[in-house]
């Protein structure tokens, strides 16, 4: 076993580039009662990166994070931190810190005592601890007089800041976040996302964040990994993930999209209704089945003056206002529902039947 | 008249009060009335049944008379109760911890084993222990059969009285404590570890304070029960020590001195409730649970 470990480690260090990754995962698996919550993940996280793992609930992202934090140990595979194998290093000996979804603030302690907890572990002198706690409170924008406040009397956003300050007090190399913003209202969430991003930049620390919200991931991350059923199906910059999703799952996960199944025929592609589909010339797909993914904002109403590469007809059966933009649900003749989003100025004036379409260059073609 | 009271809601009772009326009646009749009677008897003429008709402090005067040695019974009862609680705290914590974190699927069975003795009368169980410890009993006989010189003389000592109390009141400490430990969120222990704390620090700074409501309730319950214990001292202790409850029992039965028994009972109630209330005052549940 140890020789296997050694070879796997030397392999992975041979693969790693400079700068050397802070965290490296090699074929990490976690099996609970025969169920693989995490099913073979290999991932390099670079120094100072903000990496977000997104995925629906049950995709194994929390288990992955708990293994990184040392609260679970992997069933198989290797996790290294700065080149050292940490598979079985307990959480209290790892230079990493996890901000829990529940925040896990100590309810019987004041704000100050919560933040000072990791400093008490290190037996720092009381005055020094207090000084450091107040510095951190300023950093996360908590008023100084909250120092002796009962932490359970703080609002949701304030608790968030306390949890952050406490994590920073530990002074970890890597910070993990398990959907800490999920319980907050939209406005506060937006504010804290920005603050978190600022903190990331100022501190220069490595952040690994998990969420099921695409929006959160897009706003904050340098790279996004998409998880599904225990595997990372795609990892890349937000731009890459958005514009070139690896498959239909990633495309659909990243917001509302229109999906048109197509099949290969005579060097071209056909829709289910037999009409040919124009796809971008650089599309290369293995296999005969594929899907065209079109985001609603790339769908438009087709008129005689403004045609499109691909068109279809249907009837509008729903209209939503998104403020400056309008969304329509159009049911095609074959019974599929399409979503189309246009600027308010391009609102559909007519009624009854409409023709909608998209240009080949605006669609994404994914296998399967 | 009856019609009148039905049609017009003359006694204006709120719905809540009306709904709680049966409980109130039960509490007054079953709980308050005996207490009042006992309190009244405590001020009645000694060795009489002149309750509510006489008022005297003679009973208390004779209790506090320096020549009366009844205070030793109070001391024994309270000392045994404190010792019992202290031992139970140490004995039950590991079991309660195990029930929550270690025994897993077996914890149900273990709980049942601890509850099971409660189905058998306390006296019967204590006599069982007598048979176990008595000369030529289970322990002594078995040791002799094995060729040893016989078991130690444990029966009829204050020590065995304490043992009996610990044995009888163990479930009353164990279950509140188990609940208390169950209230510690898993995340908090994980978070403390993640922030670098070792096992002992997590226990001292996180687990113990958060389990405290359960622990204090268990301690309070067992203390109140143990302070009023009598069977252990009589059956196992063989009256090597006299607890105050036994004095009270004697006053009400053999001595037929109800006023004296009531006065002793009243003093015991005052001492125990005073201690319990002062502990309760420190036990700020809301604060511990973070609701304030």
**Pairwise CB contact (< 8 Å): B195 & A107:** no
Phi, psi of B267 (to 5 degrees): -65, -40
Whether A52 and A179 have beta carbons less than 8 Å apart is answered as no
Among A9-13, A23-27, B100-104, B251-255, where is mean pLDDT lowest? Answer: A9-13
Could you tell me the two tokens for B37?
């009677």
Check if the beta carbon of residue A199 is closer than 8 Å to that of residue A140.
yes
B195–A102 CB contact, under 8 Å? no
What is the bridge-based pairing of β-strands A206-211 and A174-178?
parallel
Q: Where are the domains of chain A?
A: 2-248, 258-367
First to last CA, chain A: 39
Of A274 and A163, more confident: A163
How buried is B30 (Cβ within 10 angstroms: 0-12 exposed, 13-18 middle, 19+ buried)?
exposed
Q: Give the confidence band of A251 by pLDDT, cuts at 50, 70, 90.
A: confident
CB A64 within 8 Å of CB A42: no
Which residue among B195, B209, B290 places its CB closest to the CB of A97? B195
User: How confident is the model at residue B199, as a pLDDT?
Assistant: 94
- Asked if the A258-367 domain carries CATH number 2.40.50.100, the reply is yes
For residue B188, give how far its alpha carbon lies from the nearest alpha carbon of chain A (Å). Answer: 5
Query: Is there a contact between B193 and A92 if contact means CB atoms under 8 Å apart?
Result: yes
Residues B84/B165, Cβ–Cβ less than 8 Å: yes
Nearest CA in chain B to A96: B194
- Output the CA–CA distances (angstroms, integers) from residue A33 to A30, A36, A75, in the order listed: 10, 8, 11
Q: Which of B198, B209, B287 shows the shortest C-beta gap to A92?
A: B198
pLDDT digits (tens, 9 = 90+) for A90-145: 999 999 999 999 999 999 999 999 999 999 999 999 999 999 999 999 999 999 99
pLDDT tier at A71 (50, 70, 90 boundaries)?
very high
User: Are residues A100 and B190, on separate chains, in Cβ contact within 8 Å?
Assistant: yes
Radius of gyration of chain B (CA): 25
Q: Determine the pLDDT at residue B288.
A: 53
Average pLDDT of the residues of chain B: 89
Point out which residues pair with B194 in neighbouring strands: none
How far, in Å, CA of A160 to CA of A188, rounded? Answer: 10
Q: What is the edge-to-edge ordering of all strands in the sheet holding A84-85?
A: A35-45, A23-32, A76-81, A84-85
Distance CA B240, CA B101 (A): 41
Q: Which of B196, B201, B286 to mutate to test the interface with A (most CBs of A within 10 A)?
A: B196
Which residues does A contribute to its contact with B (CB < 8 Å)?
69-71, 90-94, 96-98, 100, 102, 104, 106-108, 117-118, 120-122, 150-153, 166-167, 170
Q: Do the chains contact at B195 and A70, CB–CB below 8 Å?
A: no
- What is this structure's pTM? 0.79
Q: What is the pLDDT of residue A12?
A: 45
CA distance A255 to A248: 12
Cα–Cα dist B47/A139, whole Å: 77
The answer to whether the CB atoms of B195 and A100 lie below 8 A apart is no
Nearest chain A Cα distance for residue B292, angstroms = 7
Q: Cβ A108–B210 below 8 Å, yes or no?
A: yes
Q: For the residues A184-198, what does the mean pLDDT come to? A: 91
DSSP string, A235-300: EE-HHHHHHS-SSHHHHHHSS--EEEEEEEETTEEEETTS-EE---TT---SSSEEEEEE-GGG-E
Which of B105, B189, B191 to mutate: most A Cβ within 10 Å? B191
Please tell me the distance from the alpha carbon of residue B189 to that of residue B177, in angstroms, as a whole number.
Answer: 18
| Nearest residue of B to residue A114, measured between CA atoms | B192
Query: CB–CB of A170 and B196 under 8 A?
Result: yes
Of A100, A108, A151, the CB nearest to B191: A100
* pLDDT digits 0-9 by tens, B211-243: 988 999 999 999 999 999 999 999 999 888 999
User: Looking at the partner chain, which of B188, B197, B290 has a beta carbon nearest the beta carbon of A121?
Assistant: B197
Q: What is the distance in angstroms between the Cα of A284 and the nearest Cα belonging to chain B?
A: 47
Residues A124-150: b if buried by 16+ CB within 10 A, e if exposed: beeeebbebbbebbebbebeeebbebb
Judging contacts by C-beta atoms under 8 Å, the chain A residues touching residue B183 are none
Residue of B nearest to A113 (CA): B205
Alpha helices in chain A (DSSP H): 2-15, 61-69, 111-121, 126-139, 156-169, 186-203, 214-220, 238-243, 248-253
Q: What is the pLDDT of residues B72-89, one digit of tens each?
A: 999 999 999 999 999 999
Q: Which runs of consecutive H residues, i.e. helices, occur in chain B? A: 2-7, 15-27, 33-42, 58-64, 71-97, 107-115, 122-133, 138-145, 158-182, 186-194, 199-202, 208-227, 231, 244-252, 258-282, 285-288
Question: How high does pLDDT run on average in chain A?
Answer: 88
CB contact under 8 A, B197 and A90: no
Structure confidence at residue A274 (pLDDT): 82
Phi, psi of A8 (to 5 degrees): -65, -40
Contact B291 A152 (CB under 8 A): yes
Q: Check residue A19 and give its pLDDT.
A: 63
Residue B234 confidence (pLDDT): 92
Which residue of chain B has the CA closest to A101?
Answer: B187
Taking only the tens place, the pLDDT of each residue in B128-145 is 999 999 888 888 889 888
Q: Tell me the pairing of strands A289-294 and A364-367.
A: antiparallel
What separation, in Å, do the N-terminal and C-terminal C-alpha atoms of chain B show? 51
- Give how far Cα A359 sits from Cα of A225, A259, A280, A306, A308, Å: 29, 14, 9, 11, 5
Give which of A86, A90, A105, A117 to mutate to test B binding, by max B Cβ within 10 Å. A117
Q: Which CATH number fits domain B69-288: 1.10.3720.10, 3.40.50.880, 1.10.10.10, 3.20.20.140?
A: 1.10.3720.10
**In the predicted structure, residue B1 carries a pLDDT above the cut 70:** no
Which superfamily is assigned to A2-248 in CATH? P-loop containing nucleotide triphosphate hydrolases (3.40.50.300)
Of A305, A304, A269, nearest in space to A287 by CA: A269
Residue A104 to residue B187, Cβ atoms within 8 A = yes
């Amino acid at each position: 076993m140890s020789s296997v470990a050694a070879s796997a480690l030397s392999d992975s260090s041979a693969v790693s580039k400079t700068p050397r990754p802070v965290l490296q995962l090699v074929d990490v698996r976690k099996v609970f009662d025969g169920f693989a919550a995490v099913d073979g993940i290999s991932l390099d996280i670079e120094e100072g990166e903000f990496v977000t793992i997104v995925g629906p609930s049950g995709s194994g992202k929390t288990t992955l994070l708990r293994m990184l934090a040392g609260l679970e140990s992997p069933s198989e595979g290797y996790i290294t931190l700065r080149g050292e194998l940490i598979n079985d290093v307990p959480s209290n000996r790892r230079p990493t810190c996890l901000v829990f979804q529940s925040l896990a603030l100590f309810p019987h302690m004041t704000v100050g005592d919560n933040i000072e907890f990791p400093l008490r572990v290190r037996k720092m002198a009381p005055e020094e601890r207090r000084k450091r706690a107040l510095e951190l409170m300023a950093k996360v924008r908590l008023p100084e007089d909250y120092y002796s406040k009962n932490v359970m009397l703080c609002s949701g956003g304030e608790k968030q800041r306390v949890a952050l300050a406490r994590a920073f007090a530990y002074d970890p190399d890597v910070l993990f976040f398990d959907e800490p913003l999920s319980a907050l209202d939209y406005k506060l969430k937006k504010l804290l996302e920005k603050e978190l991003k600022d903190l990331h930049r100022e501190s220069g620390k490595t952040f690994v964040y998990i969420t099921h919200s695409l929006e959160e991931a897009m706003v904050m991350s340098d790279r996004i990994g998409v998880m599904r059923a225990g595997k990372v199906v795609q990892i890349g910059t937000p731009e890459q993930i958005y514009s070139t999703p690896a498959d239909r799952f990633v495309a659909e996960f990243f917001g509302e999209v229109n999906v048109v199944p197509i099949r290969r025929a005579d060097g071209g592609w056909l829709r289910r209704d037999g009409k040919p589909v124009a796809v971008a010339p650089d599309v290369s797909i293995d296999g005969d089945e594929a899907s065209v993914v079109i985001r609603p904002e790339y769908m438009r109403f087709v008129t005689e003056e403004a045609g499109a590469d691909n068109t279809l007809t249907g009837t509008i059966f729903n209209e939503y206002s998104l403020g400056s933009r309008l969304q329509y649900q159009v049911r095609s003749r074959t019974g599929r529902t399409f979503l189309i989003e246009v600027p308010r100025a391009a609102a559909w004036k007519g009624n009854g039947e409409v023709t909608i379409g998209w240009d080949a260059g605006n669609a994404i073609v994914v296998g399967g | 008249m009856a019609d009148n009271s039905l049609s017009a809601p003359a006694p204006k009772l709120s719905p809540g009060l009306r709904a709680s009326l049966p409980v109130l009646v039960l509490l007054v009749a079953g709980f308050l009335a005996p207490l009042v009677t006992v309190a009244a008897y405590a001020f009645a003429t000694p060795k009489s049944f002149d309750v509510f008709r006489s008022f005297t402090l003679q009973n208390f005067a004779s209790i506090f008379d320096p020549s009366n040695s009844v205070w030793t019974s109070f001391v024994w009862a309270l000392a045994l109760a404190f010792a019992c609680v202290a031992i139970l705290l140490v004995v039950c914590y590991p079991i309660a911890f195990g029930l929550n974190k270690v025994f897993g699927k077996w914890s149900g069975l273990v709980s049942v084993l601890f509850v099971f003795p409660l189905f058998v009368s306390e006296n019967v169980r204590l006599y069982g222990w007598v048979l176990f410890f008595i000369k030529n009993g289970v322990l002594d006989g078995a040791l002799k059969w094995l060729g040893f010189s016989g078991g130690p003389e444990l029966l009829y000592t204050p020590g065995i009285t304490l043992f009996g109390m610990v044995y009888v009141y163990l479930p009353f400490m164990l279950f509140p404590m188990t609940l208390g430990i169950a209230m510690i969120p898993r995340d908090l222990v994980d978070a403390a570890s993640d922030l670098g704390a070792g096992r002992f620090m997590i226990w001292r700074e996180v687990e113990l304070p958060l389990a405290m409501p359960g622990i204090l309730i268990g301690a309070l319950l067992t203390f109140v029960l143990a302070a009023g214990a009598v069977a252990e001292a009589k059956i196992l202790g063989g009256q090597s020590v006299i607890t105050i409850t036994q004095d009270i029992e004697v006053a009400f039965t053999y001595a037929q001195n109800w006023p004296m028994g009531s006065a002793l009972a009243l003093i015991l109630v005052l001492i125990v409730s005073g201690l319990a209330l002062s502990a309760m005052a420190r036990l700020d549940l809301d604060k511990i649970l973070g609701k304030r």
